[in-house]
Chains A and B, each alone.
Chain A
Amino acid sequence: MTTAVKVRGLTKRYGDVQAVGGIDLDIDAGEVFAILGPNGAGKSTTVEILEGYRRRDAGEVSVLGTDPGRPTREWRSRVGIVLQSTGDAGEMTVRETVRHFAGYYPRAQDPDEVIERVGLAEKAGRRVGELSGGQRRRVDVALGVIGSPELLFLDEPTTGFDPEARRRFWELIQGLAHEGTTIVLTTHYLDEVEALADRVAVIARGRIVAEGEPSTLGGRATAQATVRWAGGSVETGTPTRTVMELTRRFDGEIPELTVTRPSLEDVYLGLIGS
């Protein structure tokens, strides 16, 4: 397994504010890695340093073997970036825009295939400015992947989507991940992390406070479970035994039975100290 992103001791300060206070990160090639964190926690700063948009104060950073503080055209051609939003008027059609961007790259994919893959085949002849927000987002993704990137940055990709559009978008991202593209995803949606990410890091106050698989983050899998039923609840490390006892007590069906472990959201909110 090769490493796509390697970060050691990354720091960045804006005036008196320590935005990033010493971050270490390893992202393997082919992995979908999510970065979570509240606004102002240093998440965007960290990602923008990895994308080559921002300079760091200190630390070692290597993205696809290159220091993003000194981006070259060659390196740029191997990295795809899908930013939060662009507000240009979009007078060119979807096909013209994707074809135009394809010309920037030495290893571009076929524009029509990419348009097809992001689900815009029927809109290919429409001007970008005439599309809905969700459709424009798909254009953003098409432009991010047109150069066949080895590494793709997705910055809050589904903000403002309706639930169905989000599901379809997830399938698109899963398809890219399946083909071996390394994906670095920042998002506020925890269900998005559970659906897409192999691993997740939580950034709070400029540091990584937890890192792991979404299902085990922050000791989630081994945490105490809560068993609830009509008339009572108990927190226990052995919920199966509790349910068996309840089965005997109620002689069959337990009314309103639920067994829950902390959701990713519970764990996340605990980690960021809310």
Chain B
Amino acid sequence: MTQTTTAPSVSAVAASPAMPSTLRLGLSQAAAENRTFFRRRDAMIFTFSFPIILLVIFGSIFSSTVEGTGLTVSQLYVAGLIGSATMTGFQNLGIGIALNRDDGTLKRLAGTPLPPAAYFMGKALNTLLVSFVQVVILLVIGVALFDLDLPSAASDWLTFTWVFVLGVLGSSLLGIAVSSLPRSGSSASAVIAMPFVVLQFISGVFIPARELPEWLSQIAAIFPLKWMCQGFRAVFLGEDGATLEPTNSYELGRVALILGAWVIGGLVLCLTTFRWKSRNDG
């Protein structure tokens, strides 16, 4: 384990023991976050059932095949909704942290020696777990009800893993960063949910990317969701679906580059703009 170094104390505290490492604290935060999440039954049930309900609705409405590919429209939705599930951290953290900032939870943490990085790590790991469970449920339903074929090649699962991990981390960090935008906890869900819904519509979750006007695609290309969906389509639609992409290719290299950039950019944004206190508290 890495130990964070502490400056030699100028105080009279004799042989002061080392501060707990940021890594250990991050894991401990994650354990506490997970515990809290799974005990908040109502929120947990809705978090997990939301993408399932969307998948069942969309999969049932659009059961036709996509011309010239042999793919069904419901398969497209499975891939899109997995992208959306991977980004739920953006919404959950954006709203959740804004509420915690208002109710004084963050202020209390700020008064302890907990480093902000450990707090972020706990949130991100919790999101990783929640998104993972969502994705597994979506895959099970996709296979059982909507003719989804799970890829058999190890390389596809490798792609799935890095798209998923980079996607969750990037959107979690982005969620932590945007949690500072709402003026109060009570306005948070309106401020954060709107851009998330818009992103879903322009990033190929509900509407295939090639049916969008050029300028909307260009806006979507700035944000990670479009690239996450593209990565998941590469995994679950395979070569048959590549012709549906505007560029006739899944551009996995670009996906990796842009998602990686969002992780780094998101972390920088968090570390530089994160506020423990609400705006009306100085």
Interface residues of A (CB under 8 A from B): 14, 48, 51-54, 64-66, 72-74, 76-79, 81, 83-89, 91-92, 96, 100-101, 103-107, 127, 143, 147
Contact = CB atoms under 8 A, between A and B. Distances in A.
Sort A-B residue pairs by CB-CB distance and give the 10 closest, nearest first. A87-B103, A81-B111, A86-B104, A76-B113, A73-B113, A91-B39, A106-B17, A77-B113, A91-B36, A88-B105
A49 to B, nearest CB: 10
A73 B40 contact: no
27 contacts: A53-B110, A53-B277, A54-B282, A73-B19, A73-B115, A74-B11, A74-B113, A78-B11, A79-B111, A81-B108, A83-B108, A83-B111, A86-B107, A86-B108, A87-B103, A88-B100, A88-B103, A92-B32, A92-B35, A92-B36, A96-B32, A96-B35, A103-B25, A104-B114, A106-B17, A107-B16, A143-B108
B272 interface: no
A111 to B, nearest CB: 13
Interface in B58-101: 100
A206 B111 CA distance: 24
Given A53-B277, A73-B19, A104 B105 contact: no
Interface in B104-128: 104-105, 107-108, 110-115
Interface in B9-65: 9-11, 13, 16-20, 24-25, 28, 32, 35-36, 39-40
A64 B20 CA distance: 21
A183 to B, nearest CB: 15
Contacts of B9: 74
A66 B19 CA distance: 17
Contact of B105 (A66, A79, A86): A86
B247 interface: no
A127 B108 CA distance: 18
Main secondary structure of the interface of A (DSSP, over half): loop
B111 A74 contact: no
A261 B104 CA distance: 42
Contacts of B105: 86-88
A159 B148 CA distance: 59
Contacts of A96: 32, 35
Given A64-B11, A73-B115, A53 B107 contact: yes
A103 to B, nearest CB: 5
Given A52-B111, A66-B10, A92-B36, 12 more contacts: A48-B282, A51-B111, A74-B6, A74-B11, A74-B19, A76-B111, A77-B113, A88-B103, A104-B25, A104-B113, A106-B16, A106-B18
A105 B104 contact: no
Contacts of A127: 39
B7 interface: yes
A106 B103 CA distance: 27
Given A86-B108, A143-B108, A72 B7 contact: yes
Contacts of A107: 16-17
Contact of A73 (B6, B17, B103, B282): B6
A79 to B, nearest CB: 8
Nearest to A64: B11
Nearest to A106: B17
A106 B112 contact: no
Contact of A101 (B4, B112, B277): B112
B112 A76 contact: yes
A43 B103 CA distance: 21
A73 to B, nearest CB: 4
A91 to B, nearest CB: 4
B126 to A, nearest CB: 13
